[in-house]
Amino acid sequence: MLSLSKLRTLVIGASVACLPLMSAHAAKEDITLGFIVKKPEQAWFINEQRAATELGKKDGFEVVKLSGVDGQEVLSAIDNLHSQGAQGFVICPPDVRLGPVIKRRADQYDMKVVTVDDRFVNSDGDPMKGVPHLGMSGYKIGQQVGNTIAEQIKARGWDMDDVAALRISNYELPTAKERTDGATDALVKAGFNKDNIFDAPQQNTDTSSAFAAASPVFSKQSKFKHWVIYALNEESVLGGVRASEQYGLTADDVIGVGINGSGAAFAEFSREKPTGFYGTIAVSSTMHGRQSALNLYNWVTEGEKPPADTQTTGKLMTRDNWQQVRDELGL
């Protein structure tokens, strides 16, 4: 027969042994994650947040969708998440140089953080390798843009020496520079005259900012009758296309190729008549949202830290195949 002291020891030991399992189970049932994006009105980020939310409903965790258009709003969003008991957040930062500040605030609250699309950089401008990232291979996707444009130039029988390129640029954003550098290198390798590439620095990454940047370039370079347009995303390329139309150029005169595969491209392809927006390199924003949220969830619940850097590529979407590509990529 067990003594009272031995029985007490066994009961206490069994209770302690069960604690980790009970805690882990409770943690999985009470997970709240944030998803902060810099442009909540853009279709790309709408798709990302929606995909993360749908995954949360399916797998039993809550996703809080928040806006972070500048540093102050990001920090307020993190404070908000902390007040809701969130264990971590996914973020596409408004400025990659805010990485150290955002990471410190996350550490203050013992929250895990992963980046999507745009990667944090440190004070030296180097990627913050300690923060897991999921994004596009900017340079390779840029090369896809450049190669597509070069193929279209040849298909239309244009003399490359008589073609001008509008490069809508934002060199403060590393992702943007990678994409436009990739497109430029591919074009030059295909025989394009680098002296015919003209920069249009944009203040933002949307259509109106690109339109404002592109318009003066067309006016100054009036000798060119054929133009190609590329940028970091399709919204910016569309701004360039709208500027070309105002200048009097038609769809036969312009080859614009964007990056993303969002509602902006779908609307353009749905127009009754073709425009200078030839195509876009579509990447699954749905996959980016779902996978980044899943990576964070597994990290929080299982301790599985995601890979330091995961890169995706894209597929050419044009007026002829956009509905098929949209279905294939789940856009």
> What pLDDT was estimated at residue 28?
57
> What is the amino acid identity at position 171?
Y
Distance CA 169, CA 309 (A): 24
> What pLDDT was estimated at residue 23?
35
Q: Label the pairing between strands 277-282 and 315-318.
A: antiparallel
> What pLDDT was estimated at residue 26?
33
3-class secondary structure, 83: helix
User: What is the per-residue burial (b if ≥16 Cβ within 10 Å, else e) of 287-315?
Assistant: bbbbbbbbbbbebbeeeeebeeebeeebe
Per-10-residue mean pLDDT, the chain, length 331: 38 35 46 96 91 96 97 98 97 96 97 96 91 92 97 96 95 88 97 97 92 96 96 96 96 96 91 96 92 97 94 91 90 77
> What pLDDT was estimated at residue 174?
83
3-class secondary structure, 289: helix
> What pLDDT was estimated at residue 11?
34
Q: 32 to each of 83, 100, 106, 146, 291, how far by Cα in Å?
A: 11, 23, 14, 41, 16
> What pLDDT was estimated at residue 44?
86
> Would you list the DSSP string of 153-166?
HHHTT--GGGEEEE
> What pLDDT was estimated at residue 14?
36
Is there a contact between 15 and 253 (Cβ–Cβ < 8 Å)?
no
Tokens describing residue 254: 């312009």
What burial class does residue 140 get, using C-beta atoms within 10 Å of its C-beta: 0-12 exposed, 13-18 middle, 19+ buried?
Answer: middle
> What pLDDT was estimated at residue 25?
35
> What pLDDT was estimated at residue 29?
63
Distance CA 286, CA 299 (A): 20
> What pLDDT was estimated at residue 331?
77
3-class secondary structure, 36: strand
**The overall pTM is greater than 0.85:** no
